[in-house]
Amino acid sequence: MAVFTPVSNAQAEAFLEGYDVGDLMALSPIAEGVENTNYRMETDRGRFVLTLFEGRTDAASLPFCLGLTDWLALKGFPAPQPIPDREGGWIGSLNGRSASVIEWREGAWLRAPSQADQTAAGAVLARLHQAGQGYRRTRENPVGPAMWRRLADRCAAGASGVDRVLLDQVEAGLARLGDPFKDDLPSGPIHADYFPDNILFDQGAVSGVIDFYFACNGAYAYDLAIALSAWGFDADGRPDETALAAFQRGYEAVRPLSPLEREALPRLGEAAALRFTLTRLHDRVFHDPSKLVTPKDPAAFLRRLDYWRSVAVS
């Protein structure tokens, strides 16, 4: 459940006085997501999302993230546009948290996407990379190699049993990988968390791409590798070759990979597998039972390494 900071109707009404979005009619928590607190708001002018940014979302990153979604939306991309307050700002304060009002996007994420859905999602990721070109704000990847090292060191201080075994495998993977970003690849703003639960579908088409709070500057091929790792494997980490091919086919129909990107993709896939294994392992080792969020299985993501290594040598 993604409500870490409760908000009452009266508190939401007071917050909305700073916005030109109408009068609050209904406020309900949104259970999806694990990072921030989200409420669905109905006003007499429409439907909106109220987001309170929790600890993992760095407040200093919000101008980049919200600015990017605004930029993309103005380019016709289906990103939720931030709603400015009466002073023209996107970021306020509510119950001790940075908070924003965001455009509501209709649709729902697909738990069992079809091959056509995979292709559509791949095409939309390529559109994101194209539409983001020219966006001038920059942000270093908040979960890049330097953070991997810090996460691994933290896990080493608390991991035991099966988690210790996983950490040893991650350490071996990092040593084998070296610098995954050594090549000068086409780069720009990337989503960096393009998982199925961040892609909304409505009537068979992608209607929204949400949760840009890990967005940063990076190689487009790395973003593709993350997305393939998210969309192209089952819950146990086994590859679905049909899904992988469909997603990449959709992407390359819009933005074909260069030969250097194609060569780098398996290595970037290894990097993606290690990155998400580490964050999931860290979340499990340091899980707070009082939080109503179940940590995701890090082992399933680590198994993706076998696939990316097999592709690299094939």
What is the per-residue pLDDT across 237-287, written as a single tens digit (0 to 9) for each?
A: 999 999 999 999 999 999 999 999 999 999 999 999 999 999 999 999 998
User: How wide is the angle at C-alpha 312 spanned by C-alphas 301 and 261, nearest 5°?
Assistant: 95
pTM of the full predicted structure?
Answer: 0.96
Q: Which residue pairs, CB below 8 angstroms and at least 24 apart, start in 152-157?
A: 152/278, 154/282, 154/285, 154/286, 155/278, 155/281, 155/282, 155/285
Q: Residues for the chain: how many in total? A: 314
Q: In whole angstroms, what is the distance from residue 43 CA to residue 26 CA?
A: 7
Q: In whole angstroms, what is the distance from residue 180 CA to residue 188 CA?
A: 17
Cross-strand partners of 229 = none
Residue 2: its pLDDT value, please? 61
Residue 208 CB partners (closer than 8 Å, separation 6+): 78, 79, 80, 105, 106, 107, 199, 200, 202
> Residue 97: which of 48, 132, 125, 59 has the closest Cα?
59
- Average pLDDT, rounded, for the chain: 95
List pLDDT tens digits, range 19-47.
Answer: 999 999 999 999 876 789 999 999 999 99
Sign of CA pseudo-dihedral 204, 207, 212, 218: positive
Domains and CATH numbers, the chain: 9-103 (3.30.200.20), 115-313 (3.90.1200.10)
56 band by pLDDT with thresholds 50, 70 and 90: confident
**Cβ atoms of 21 and 49 closer than 8 Å:** no
Where do we find the tokens 């909305």?
16
312 band by pLDDT with thresholds 50, 70 and 90: confident
115 band by pLDDT with thresholds 50, 70 and 90: very high
Q: Are strands 199-202 and 92-94 parallel, antiparallel or unpaired?
A: unpaired
Residue 1: its pLDDT value, please? 43
Least confident of 13-22, 55-64, 132-141: 55-64
Residue 290: its pLDDT value, please? 67
Least confident of 12-26, 30-44, 58-72, 187-201: 30-44
List pLDDT tens digits, range 211-241.
Answer: 999 999 999 999 999 999 999 999 999 999 9
